Amino acid sequence: MPDISSPAAEASAILLIACPDRKGLVAAVSEFVFRHGGDVVHADQHTDEQEQVFFQRVEFRLRDFDLGPNEILPALAPITERFSMRCDLRFSDSVARTAVLVSKQAHCLYDLLARWRMGELRADIPLIISNDESNADVAAQFGVPFRWLPVDPPSRSVQEEAMLGLLRQADIELVILARYMQILSARVVDLYPQRIINIHHSFLPAFVGGRPYHQAYDRGVKLIGATAHYATTDLDQGPIIEQDVVRVSHRDKIPDLVRKGRDLEMVVLARAVWFHLNHRVLVYGNKTVVFS
């Protein structure tokens, strides 16, 4: 596991800031970075005027920066305190230990494993968990440990305990529900706040819950969608990270919706995971700011 307090010299640091909106915020942060020799690579900010909350993402090169990784937050403390900031510090070369949870359908799993192998994701994938044995072969193809944890209503509590043990043991920081057709209890969700990404196969909030393609077919919609969001204890209600749609017509039967939807699910989930791993997502209330 990479030591995130030891970024490489050529890496950059990322500050993710949220605080009540006040004058002088941008000046204070940019002056801080400038004063310590930081070279801003990317800066983006947003003010939610309704909630009067200010968000900022500042990425700056560590080369020539006169503070060490562990000195940054302490040095920034006067500013974070003055403006009541919530401030996260990340490094561009961090690698998140990631578990993929999957049921029977393998398309998102295949897609994530391929992206990981091609080096597209700033993640390591040391664990795949499934309630269905069928994807053990996929895991084996990519050399990733696979754990089969079958589940039925009476055993859910025991199964989740085993799952939590596996996640802890593998030092998992991010959990991806890659078409994992089980609802996680609050016990699991609360342990990984904003660190469980789910893909739902509809354009939320349309077609919450089970069998959304069947629901879409019955309603006669002309577009179907997919939604990647952080899991919360309310089913399909968590903060949305990314969505997209594809056109369908009366010609498309349910298997066609499923087929067209698969491509959407893969791409929407992959984009959301990329945003997360590149420290581009800020959550507030039940919404996200995605600095894309």
Residues near a second copy (CB under 8 A) are 23-24, 26-27, 30-31, 33-34, 37-50, 55, 106-107, 110-111, 114, 117-118, 120, 138, 141-142, 203-207, 219-223, 225, 239-245, 247, 249-251, 253, 259, 262-263, 267, 270-271, 274, 286-290, 292
Q: How far is CA 99 from CA 46, 89, 104, 144, 229, in A?
A: 31, 23, 16, 10, 16
* Residue number with CB closer to a second copy (211 or 253): 253
* Residue number with CB closer to a second copy (172 or 226): 226
* Residue number with CB closer to a second copy (82 or 253): 253
> Which residues, at least 6 apart from 36, have a Cβ–Cβ distance to it below 8 Å?
65, 66, 67, 75
> Which residues, at least 6 apart from 152, have a Cβ–Cβ distance to it below 8 Å?
none
Minimum distance of a second copy from residue 48's CB (angstroms): 8
Minimum distance of a second copy from residue 206's CB (angstroms): 4
At 74, list the tokens: 């302490």
* Residue number with CB closer to a second copy (172 or 290): 290
Minimum distance of a second copy from residue 240's CB (angstroms): 5
* Residue number with CB closer to a second copy (156 or 271): 271
Q: 228: closest CA among 240, 246, 216, 245?
A: 240
Reported as type and span, the H/E element at residue 125 is strand 123-130
- Name the packing angle between helices 72-82 and 25-35 (round to 10°): 160
Q: What distance in Å separates the CA atoms of residue 244 and residue 71, rounded to the nearest whole number? A: 41
At 98, list the tokens: 């990631």
Active-site annotation, residues: 236
Q: What distance in Å separates the CA atoms of residue 7 and residue 10, rounded to the nearest whole number? A: 8
Minimum distance of a second copy from residue 106's CB (angstroms): 6
Minimum distance of a second copy from residue 222's CB (angstroms): 4
Q: What distance in Å separates the CA atoms of residue 28 and residue 175, rounded to the nearest whole number? A: 35
The burial of 154, by beta-carbon neighbours within 10 Å (0-12 exposed, 13-18 middle, 19 or more buried), is given as exposed
